[in-house]
Amino acid sequence: MSACRTFSLPVLHKPSCEPFSVDERLHPSVHTMSGAEAFAVIGLISSIITVVDTTRQVYDAATNVAGLHEAFRLASQKLPLVLDILIDCQKIAKQAQDQFKNETDVIRRRELEQSAEAVRPIVMQCQKSAEELQTLFEKVFTGDGANWFERYRKAVTAVLGKKSKVEHLMSDILNSLQLLQAKQIFKEAVAQHSTDLGEAIQEMSDIQSSLPEEDARYNQSGSGPMNINGSTDTQNNYTQSGRNNTQNFGGQTQYLAK
């Protein structure tokens, strides 16, 4: 976890083309949302922190991970960075909320509201990806029956959808955090981690697919039977004549004979 840090809240300015009216200065409720609504982002961030920490604990408690795809290990290594950034953003949001409660200047109150509201869509997307990653880890590492690869395949194809591979979900989380740096309220908090964040995004982008689209489970070109090995063991398929071909999918070696 990161050491205790302090942050200065940004000073935002309303565009000159949208001047505040006298009514806005005298009546804070005019054209403004409630503070609770604007700072609902604090609860969202807290929820993501809990989800990410739970995901980390699931991975740390896993005992049978033989043959596990590298994408899982790499994603788990990025969880502490994600937590550090989220905790820093949470502190900033709470500081902004406290200032909002004590602020008497209507313009400044509105600035604080708008800055908090502006990040909510990004945080909500981050929350969605984090929850799906938690579901994926729980199904892979705590499920019964089939081996980890089979549990993973079923979770992605039957539960979460093919766009929810572990590397995709972690990349989505990291990219969401990077987007927060463009928002004034969290710019300073995320900027402190910008180098590590950029490297993490690149690493997740470079990792080989944990469920290759060319996997023989889903695609076959040419004619003849297709033999599928759902375990991590070696599968040998023979014919009376022809040439054997070897392919490896998801850590599984498969020998196909023509």
What pLDDT, in 10s, does the model give residues 122-149?
A: 999 999 999 999 999 999 988 776 688 8
What confidence score (pLDDT) does residue 48 get? Answer: 98
What confidence score (pLDDT) does residue 221 get? Answer: 42
User: 96 and 59 in one domain?
Assistant: yes
User: 229 and 161 in one domain?
Assistant: no
What confidence score (pLDDT) does residue 218 get? Answer: 44
- Cα distance between residue 46 and residue 172, in whole Å: 18
User: 231 and 256 in one domain?
Assistant: yes
3-state secondary structure the chain: CCCCCCCCCCCCCCCCCCCCCHHHHHCCCCCCCCHHHHCCHHHHHHHHHHHHHHHHHHHHHCCCCCCCCHHHHHHHHHHHHHHHHHHHHHHHHHHHHHHHHHCCCHHHHHHHHHHHHHCHHHHHHHHHHHHHHHHHHHHHHCCCCCCHHHHHHHHHHHHHCCCCCHHHHHHHHHHHHHHHCCCHHHHHHHHCCHHHHHHHHHHHHHCCCCCCCCCCCCCCCCCCCCCCCCCCCCEECCCCCCCEEEEEECCEEEEEEC
What confidence score (pLDDT) does residue 16 get? Answer: 38
User: 105 and 140 in one domain?
Assistant: yes
Is residue 78 in some structural domain?
yes
**Domain of residue 71, residue span:** 27-206
User: 244 and 131 in one domain?
Assistant: no
Q: Is this model's pTM higher than 0.75 or not?
A: no
User: 98 and 171 in one domain?
Assistant: yes
What confidence score (pLDDT) does residue 248 get? Answer: 46
- Report, as ranges of residue numbers, the positions in the chain whose pLDDT lies below 50: 11-32, 214-216, 218-258
Number of structural domains (the chain) is 2
User: 130 and 232 in one domain?
Assistant: no
Is residue 4 in some structural domain?
no
Is residue 72 in some structural domain?
yes
User: 70 and 163 in one domain?
Assistant: yes
Is residue 3 in some structural domain?
no
What confidence score (pLDDT) does residue 129 get? Answer: 97
Is residue 118 in some structural domain?
yes
User: 253 and 160 in one domain?
Assistant: no
User: 241 and 114 in one domain?
Assistant: no
Is residue 13 in some structural domain?
no
What confidence score (pLDDT) does residue 149 get? Answer: 86
What confidence score (pLDDT) does residue 7 get? Answer: 58
What confidence score (pLDDT) does residue 103 get? Answer: 93
